[in-house]
Amino acid sequence: MRVVVALGGNALLKRGEPMTAEVQRANVRKASAALADLARDHDIVVAHGSGPQVGLIALQAAALKDVPPYPLDVISAESIGMIGYLVEQELANALPQGTRLATLLTHIEVDPGDPAFGRPEKPIGQVYGPAQANSARAEHGWPMVEEAPGRWRRVVPSPLPKRIVQIEVIRMLVDAGVVTICVGGGGIPVVRIADGGLQGVEAVIDKDRAAGLLAEDLCADAFLMLTDVDAVYLDWGTPEQRPIGKAAPAELSALGFPAGSMGPKVEAACIFASRPGRIAGIGRLEDARAILEGRAGTLVTIR
């Protein structure tokens, strides 16, 4: 079975943890153990998020007062290279010796007219208190959103992915049996310019939507979105919250989930699983095999 696995940025750098290289490597090592277990029986393709890491690098770059801020697409490439390096190395250590792996920085074309460019909504980076948020807004010109009372984060545009530029290269690697790490951070967003070339833009593509497009283009059998939450819940955050074990795409999409949290995952799962024979799963990283086998998380498939 060909399985596309999307690792959430918060699964690799958990909320409240120090954003150090040591902490990230330790989390990637745990993730790689779960991925290696899955790879024993399936052909896996790995995508990953990078929201916390993009915010960290942007903050570090902004601290250099005599250097103009790097554009977000370049910062995204830095974060994707950093995470890809860690994932490839730790996954190679967890897999049998001689396993072939490759990490590919991936460009994803977006529509320059996408309304998201006029409506920044994608949170990235660290959480700020009210005073810190006001300082960051004033100093860097960043739009901010209050995710929870007193908890602010920077927001950036999140256009829809249209086309994976390197999809043929990815397909060649996967067909050749190479464990491929790609579409990191949702891919690097680019637009087509007048002369037919590509140009990076200030945006972050939702990694679940990008990974869903990857799963579609690779004709994958399964698509797993692994995060720090054990399943999709009804009435999340209330005393009546309860997990959804299995659901058909039409049933799940009709329930409605917040755009800032579970919404993109549910949307991507429902789109991919809308064809018979395909399955999509959402749940905890450590439950990867159990989710694929229908023993944990939320499984989306046509019954």
Do residues 226 and 11 lie in contact, with contact meaning Cβ atoms separated by under 8 Å?
Answer: yes
More reliable by pLDDT, 12 or 157: 157
Residue 47 neighbours by CB under 8 Å, 6+ apart: 4, 5, 6, 7, 181, 182, 183, 184, 207, 210, 211, 214
Residue 128 carries which DSSP code? E
What letters, b where the CB count within 10 A reaches 16 and e where it falls short, cover 80-96? bebbbebbbbbbbebbe
Highest averaged pLDDT of the listed ranges 144-148, 221-225, 248-252: 221-225
Place of tokens 């960043």: 142
Residue 260 has pLDDT above 70, yes or no: no
Average pLDDT, integer, range 130-142: 86
d(CA 148, CA 27): 26
- Per-residue pLDDT tens digits for 104-124: 999 999 999 999 999 998 887
Prediction pTM value: 0.90
d(CA 183, CA 49): 9
Element (H, E) at 107: strand 107-109
Q: What percent of the chain has pLDDT over 90?
A: 62
Residue 287 has pLDDT above 80, yes or no: yes
d(CA 111, CA 198): 12
Q: What is the pLDDT of residue 71?
A: 85
- Per-residue pLDDT tens digits for 199-232: 999 899 999 999 999 999 999 999 999 988 899 9
Looking at the chain, how many residues does it have? 303
User: Catalytic positions, please?
Assistant: 9-10, 122, 207, 265
